[in-house]
Amino acid sequence: MAEPAFCTILATNYLPKALALAETLKRYGNSGPLTVFLIDGTPESALPEQPGVRYMFPSMLPLTEREVLDLAMSYDLVEFATAVKPLVLQVLLADHEQAFYLDPDTYLTSPMVELVPTLVASPGGILLTPHYLEPVKPGGQFGEGHLLSVGVYNLGFCGVDRRAAEFLAWWWGHLRTECLHDAVAGLFVDQKWVDVGAVLFEAAPLRHYGCNVSIANLHERPIGRDDAGYYVASSGDRLRLFHFHAFDTSRPDELSTRMNESTSHLRAGNVAIDDLCREYATTLIEKEKVVGAPPPYRFGTDSSGRKITRRMRHAYRTSVQSGARVPSPFVAAESEQWSQWRRANAALVGRLMLSDLAKGVRCALPEEYDNLKKRLPGLASRFRRNVVENTGMWH
């Protein structure tokens, strides 16, 4: 199809945000639907109908049912949602020349007319938005050092065409097992891998100041408003896509609820931002009424209702990657086997905790670690080989 595809990926609890995004995508000229991929949904899920929305589920991916369940157990919600991104884009490219991903908490404010021509002009058929387009002045809330932990690009947006097939396969090759929020391993879900992939596969940065604006880059992209709508005051670019990180309609004065301190001053000091937040809140509240109370995450507990911890996910992931057949916590018929496996692998959980601790000590106390290696080389070597897990930068 000549019309580009647009998609977003989320758990069902975020559905009101995805429906708000779909409404703005339709409002600003996209004739095709927004593909809403629900990581915890099924074709039997009771979902609201909305013009311009097409639902997609894990059963529609080129994975077996068991592979989906393994991913859902290996990863937490955010890790799972970001891990399947290249697969969803691959599926959409089977029927479309271009495919664009948007985070569910993004919101269009004008037509994104730059996307298709900029993607076509890119050398590798990959379009990404950097967090920053200018050097950051000292003293602000966010700095360039932040990018060392989260990556250069904000993967709340990306675009690909069919030339990116090799990149998507490479990206999935990493995300299948290492789409982790693990600072000690140098990983931040899908984003840090793209820092590498952008070079290997010739990705192009979208240097439009109005695309993927968020609380993290408002210092270089202050928002204004005129008769034509919202714009970026520093560049004159029209605001295209605003990224609402952790926006909560129950806290009406905040721009984001993710920060360690209040963000209300960012709204109080800028009428345009406050107007945009009020507009978004009005739309979200309408969608929340349509969807109803958010359901619990389907893969947050096992079939008996027991909460699944990150440590247990880690142990499960390690076992599956070693080739073991592990009972699924989400299959009721395997409930007893799962309980037995969980109890039997307490030592594995402990070893993996020790691995993480050892990595942290190695990073925090490099001189002391080197001295220990010199004094006890055999012990250090055996510990590294038998205890420390090879993930991320530890390969």
Position 380 scores a pLDDT of 60
Segments of the chain scoring below 50 in pLDDT: none
Q: Starting at the edge strand that comes first in sequence, how are the strands of the sheet with 211-214 ordered?
A: 106-108, 241-243, 211-214
Position 395 scores a pLDDT of 58
Position 389 scores a pLDDT of 65
- Cβ atoms 298, 81 nearer than 8 A: no
- Cβ atoms 157, 103 nearer than 8 A: yes
Quote the CA–CA distance of 257 and 264 in Å, as a whole number. Answer: 10
Quote the CA–CA distance of 69 and 258 in Å, as a whole number. Answer: 29
Quote the CA–CA distance of 339 and 342 in Å, as a whole number. Answer: 5
Quote the CA–CA distance of 264 and 274 in Å, as a whole number. Answer: 9
Residue whose token pair is 């006890």: 376
Q: How does pLDDT run across 318-360, given as a tens digit for each residue?
A: 999 999 889 999 999 999 999 999 999 999 888 888 888 877 8
Position 383 scores a pLDDT of 56
- Cβ atoms 297, 11 nearer than 8 A: yes
3-class DSSP assignment, residue 10: strand
Find, among 214, 247, 82, the residue nearest to 155 by Cα: 82
Quote the CA–CA distance of 144 and 152 in Å, as a whole number. Answer: 9
Q: Full-prediction pTM beyond 0.85?
A: yes
Q: What is the dihedral of CA 89, 92, 96, 102, to 10 degrees?
A: -50
DSSP H or E stretch at residue 108:
strand 106-108
Position 381 scores a pLDDT of 67
- Cβ atoms 198, 128 nearer than 8 A: yes
Phi and psi for 322 in degrees, rounded to 5?
Answer: -80, -5
End-to-end Cα spacing for the chain:
41
Instruction: Tell me the two tokens of residue 126.
Output: 């990959």
Q: How many residues does the chain have?
A: 395
Domains defined for the chain, CATH in brackets: 5-291 (3.90.550.10), 310-394 (no CATH)
- Which residues have C-beta within 8 Å of that of residue 240, sequence separation ≥ 6? 108, 109, 110, 111, 112, 114, 208, 210, 211
